[in-house]
Amino acid sequence: METPNLTPEKSLEIITQVINEARTKLEENGFIYVFWGVLTAIASISQFILLKNEYYDINYYPYFLMPLGGIYTGYYFYRKGKAKPNQIGKIVSVAWVTISLNIMILAFAFSYILQEHLTPIILILLGIGLFISGGAIKSRLIIVSGILINISGYICFNLKWINHSLLMCIVSIIAILIPGIILMIEHKRKKNV
């Protein structure tokens, strides 16, 4: 079996095609960013309201929405079809599954140890996930979102604990929800051209 000789130009063309396919799939899935931006904002602002009203014992209850969101996300992608993702899509998917599982484990099994450091760590992990996604598909919007969330995680270490959920709400709107809306709009515009 002979392997064809690839010129540098042909290799670059193949790499560009793979990146563009991954970018297109992410744009089609801009809905998931919108979904998670809204879900995180609702859970975070709900926790903030509970804390401000001194419901300290149940302040974390809104975050029980997150595993349900994970189940819905799995269902969403299953329903969307079983198209074979390319290597970049696989890398991004594995990164998000790994990050999501680690966030769930940290939140539900180690929150009593991490206490006021939990939210900053979660924000840092989310920032890493977005940065990986943006880098993989060469999306400046997603890279900037990842950097913004990452920086907010470090800022969060210097805030009073009661304000962590408010920062999480603001960041999820600015760096997850709004980019998701922009991706959806860009995809619709490209579809109509």
pLDDT-based confidence at residue 189 (cuts at 50, 70, 90): confident
CA distance 144 to 138: 11
Tens digits of residue pLDDT in 13-31: 776 777 676 666 655 668 8
Tens digits of residue pLDDT in 81-113: 655 667 777 788 889 889 999 999 999 899 889
Mean pLDDT confidence for 142-153: 95
- Helical segments of the chain, H only: 8-28, 30-52, 65-80, 87-109, 111-114, 118-137, 140-156, 164-172, 178-192
110: which 2 tokens? 């180690």
Tens digits of residue pLDDT in 149-168: 999 999 999 999 999 999 99
CA distance 29 to 83: 13
CA distance 66 to 133: 20
